[in-house]
Amino acid sequence: MKIFRQAITTIWSPLTAEQQSLANSVQCDRCLVVNPICRAKSFGEHGLEGVVNQMKQHDVVILGGGPAGSTAATLLALLGLDVVVVEKEYFPRFHIGESLLPATVNIFERLGVHDPIREAFIRKPGGKWLYGEKAVPGDFEKYDSQASFKANPYSYLVERSTFDKILIDRSIDAGADVRLGTEVSDIITENGRVVGVHCQSDKGQKYELRARLVIDATGLRSVIPSKLRLRKLTEPHRMGIYAQYAARPTRDDVKAGWFIGQMFYDGWTWLLLLPEDRFSVGTVLTVDRFKKSRMTPTQLLEKMVDENPLLNEGMTADRKRISDVMVTGNMGNSSESLAGNGWVAVGDAAYFIDPCYSSGVHLAMKSAEMVADLIAAQSKECLINKAVFDGYQKHMRQHEKTVQNMVDAFYIASRSTSAQKLVTSCQGGYFSRKFVTFVGGDFHKNSAFVARFRFYSRFANFLFGNDANRAPENSPSYLHDAGNLSASDVAAAEIEFMPEKISA
Ligand SMILES: Cc1cc2nc3c(=O)[nH]c(=O)nc-3n(C[C@H](O)[C@H](O)[C@H](O)COP(=O)(O)OP(=O)(O)OC[C@H]3O[C@@H](n4cnc5c(N)ncnc54)[C@H](O)[C@@H]3O)c2cc1C
């Protein structure tokens, strides 16, 4: 019987002679590396050079350890699943996106990270958007009866380096195998299914990881949608330019932890306080506008800090830039599909929307939470297919459309003084409560309100529209001055995603 079985295996085995020899050889007890000469006791002992072939199938491999990746990792590891996170950086590392929403606090509670976040960061009571002299405040205390954050009508202004480390440390505590300093170089597809990824550690180790499901949480890199050519860029092309400054706050609302944005024609600036008298300062504008300024990103930001009322007057005059000026290039993008057989995209890897409502981190963590809950409902042995995520895709598209509609209304108001009058005069009552619930993070619940709001903004602009570009406060000189931008600087700013770095 044994001889018969061996003969059958030899004739029908799908393995090549080389694979057969690997399969017969020693197997590392921890990482299941199959290698004829492997005598390693742990993954770290495998030596630095050469290709390591990992044959084990994990439950889930997560690409990227930002807020989306770490949220999925923690929730799945807590369920006892075998989860590997592959993250190219070491934490703490700089990341933009410091203003958070109250609806996210519910997820902090679920992950068990609210206490360290509360201790480390500044409490944020709301966000305020300035149109010239007038303001549209979103005070989180003034929610409507449907808000999900009634128990915690506040959020935080966070330093992302520390915040992301708190989240990834929680994933490790929960039992996820987190591999920092390891980059995903390619995906592995078999019969139209994503079955794993190729990785390379910063020490030169190359190996592959296979899983029942691969979650793409690589942010704007959006590895799987990019490889599958599903990623499309959305118009108009906008970019973010930002830096950190050391100064003391002068405005009471900034001191109290409010996020403040100030509109100009087709763009805006932001100012928010970080721990130890530091500020996150930045602007979002169209690439076209940036080119017309004929300045480098550094020249433009520094001129804004000198001349923009919010930035100039919100910080004390002894302010000092303490980081490089950083640029995120073409900011609008979306994947045509958010899932396929063997993969699903969460956070910015799914889509990225203009950050004027600070929606990014919430959508990242919320999408990861939804995906984790769907995986939890699947049988432990099965491969995970696209159909599992049908409801997720529908829900995420609703979020995307609602936030995008509100962003459109925001920019219509930046271009039209009549729309500005509409939004600044609709204070109190129904409008304010709905608006607060939206900017608190309950996006899809407010889709009907947002669609109406966008319609009214367009209608006001159509009836009474006058070009806000003519008003000096909306058309600041720093966007028109001739600088000394070279052709190479323009090209650099057009790079889709530029590396972010921060100096001491
Ligand atoms: C100018 C600007 C201002 C913003 N302001 C706000 C704000 O105030 N509030 C807010 O909520 N959001 C804001 N955002 C958005 C916010 O930054 C993102 O939405 C959020 O970080 C998304 O989280 P994520 O986990 O999806 O992606 P990320 O936080 O980008 O994490 C992705 C991770 O994947 C890793 N990675 C990438 N490629 C690979 C690879 N090949 N292999 C391994 N690892 C990889 C990266 O190193 C990174 O750690 C802003 C964005 C911009 C551009």
Span from the CA of 240 to the centroid of ligand 1 (angstroms)? 13
Query: Average pLDDT for residues 213-232, to the nearest whole number?
Result: 93
- Which residue's C-alpha comes closest to atom 39 of ligand 1? 218
Ligand 1 centre from 229 Cα, in Å? 20
Best CA proximity match to 105, nearest among 149, 161, 71, 66: 149
Verify whether ligand 1 is closer than 6 Å to residue 314 (CB atom). no
52 pLDDT above the threshold of 70: no
Q: 504: which 2 tokens?
A: 């001491």
Span of 58-72, 177-191, 396-410, 456-470 with lowest mean pLDDT:
456-470
Of 154-163, 229-238, 309-318, 337-346, where does mean pLDDT reach its minimum?
229-238
Query: Is the CB of 366 inside a 6 Å radius of any atom of ligand 1?
Result: no
Residue 459 has what pLDDT?
66
User: CA 426 from chain center: how many Å?
Assistant: 31
Average pLDDT over residues 45-58: 52
Mean pLDDT of 234-240: 84
DSSP letter at 266 equals T
97 lines ligand 1 (CB under 6 A): yes
Residue indicated by tokens 């700013």: 493
Contact (Cβ atoms closer than 8 angstroms) between residue 166 and residue 53: no
Per mean pLDDT, which of 65-79, 371-385, 422-436 is the most reliable?
Answer: 65-79
The winner for highest mean pLDDT among 8-17, 41-50, 64-73 is: 64-73
By mean pLDDT, which of 201-210, 291-300, 394-403 is the weakest?
291-300
For residue 132, with 0-12 CB atoms within 10 Å meaning exposed, 13-18 middle and 19 or more buried, which class applies?
A: middle
Ligand 1 neighbourhood includes 69 CB (under 6 angstroms): yes
Report whether 464 contacts 413 (CB < 8 A): no
User: What is the C-alpha to C-alpha distance for residues 289 and 473, in angstroms, rounded to an integer?
Assistant: 16
pLDDT at 424 over 60: yes
What mean pLDDT do residues 488-504 have?
38
Does the Cβ of 184 fall within 6 Å of ligand 1? Answer: yes
CA-derived radius of gyration, the chain = 25
Average pLDDT in the 325-347 region?
91
- Asked whether the predicted pLDDT for residue 469 surpasses 80, the reply is no
Cα 383 to ligand 1 centre (Å): 28
Instruction: Tell which wins on pLDDT, 427 or 375.
Output: 375
**What's the CA-to-centroid distance between 43 and ligand 1, angstroms?**
29
What mean pLDDT is predicted for residues 250-262? 95
More confident residue, 336 or 503: 336
Q: Is the CB of 144 under 6 A from ligand 1?
A: no
Distance 478 CA to ligand 1 centre (A): 29
Supply the residue whose CA is at minimum distance from atom 6 of ligand 1.
97
Q: Is the pLDDT of residue 421 over 90?
A: no
- Give the model's confidence band at 457: pLDDT under 50 very low, under 70 low, under 90 confident, else very high: low
Q: Describe the crossing of helices 447-464 and 429-439 by its angle, rounded to 10 degrees.
A: 120
Ligand 1 binding pocket mutation candidate from 95, 171, 323 (most atoms within 8 A of CB): 95
Q: What is the DSSP string of 444-503?
A: GGGHHHHHHHHHHHHHHHHHH--BGGGSGGGS-GGGTS-----HHHHHHHTSSSPPP---
- Using the mean position of ligand 1's atoms as its centre, give its distance from the Cα of residue 198 in Å: 22
pLDDT attached to residue 413: 80
pLDDT at 141 over 70: yes
Could you tell me if the CB of 215 is within 6 A of ligand 1?
no
Q: Is ligand 1 within 6 A of the CB of residue 127? A: no
- Report the mean per-residue pLDDT for the chain: 82
What pLDDT is stored for residue 495 in this prediction? 38
Report the range of poorest mean pLDDT among 85-94, 151-160, 229-238, 263-272. 229-238
Ligand 1, atom 26: nearest CA belongs to which residue? 347
pLDDT digits (tens, 9 = 90+) for 18-32: 334 333 333 333 333
Using the atom order of ligand 1, give the atom closest to the CA of residue 284: 1
